[in-house]
Amino acid sequence: MAEQPEIITHLKNVLLQQRLNLQSMMEILASELEAVKKRDGDQLSRVAAEKEKLLNAISEIDNQCNTEQLKPYITGNDELSALRDEIVEAFEVCQQKMKLCI
């Protein structure tokens, strides 16, 4: 197997981390909804702090990957493109779950 250029390996790792972040966000959103249903203010405060921290991490990675210099690497690589598609789908699921908590 040919060695991947360093940028592809780096982007793969970053996208994998973003996918994990979004999976964690789905769990946090489920906890948030549960706290809202139970009217548990303490749990809601804890979840809100976790959610804010994770949103910052997600935003940071999103900003890293959405540069004009990196987009061609992602769109031009099947594996990275598939990861990006998974991330977009997970992000859309998170957006729908956030609407439930509002």
List pLDDT tens digits, range 48-67. Answer: 999 999 999 999 999 998 89
| Domain that residue 39 falls in | 21-101
Chain-centroid distance of CA 56 in Å reads: 10
pLDDT category at 99 given cuts 50, 70, 90 is confident
CA–CA distance, 12 with 89 (Å, rounded to integer): 17
Which distant-in-sequence residues (6+ apart) come within 8 Å of 65 by Cβ?
11, 14, 15, 18, 74, 84
> The tokens 């908590």 sit on which residue?
101
For range 19-38, the mean pLDDT: 94
Structural domain total, the chain: 1
pLDDT category at 3 given cuts 50, 70, 90 is very low
pTM of the complete model: 0.87
Domain assignment of residue 48, yes or no: yes
Which distant-in-sequence residues (6+ apart) come within 8 Å of 12 by Cβ?
4, 79, 80, 83
pLDDT for residue 97? 85
Domain assignment of residue 10, yes or no: no
Kindly report, residue by residue over 58-93, the tens digit of the pLDDT: 999 999 988 999 999 999 999 999 999 999 999 999
For range 29-35, the mean pLDDT: 92
Domain assignment of residue 74, yes or no: yes
How much of the chain exceeds pLDDT 90, in percent? 80
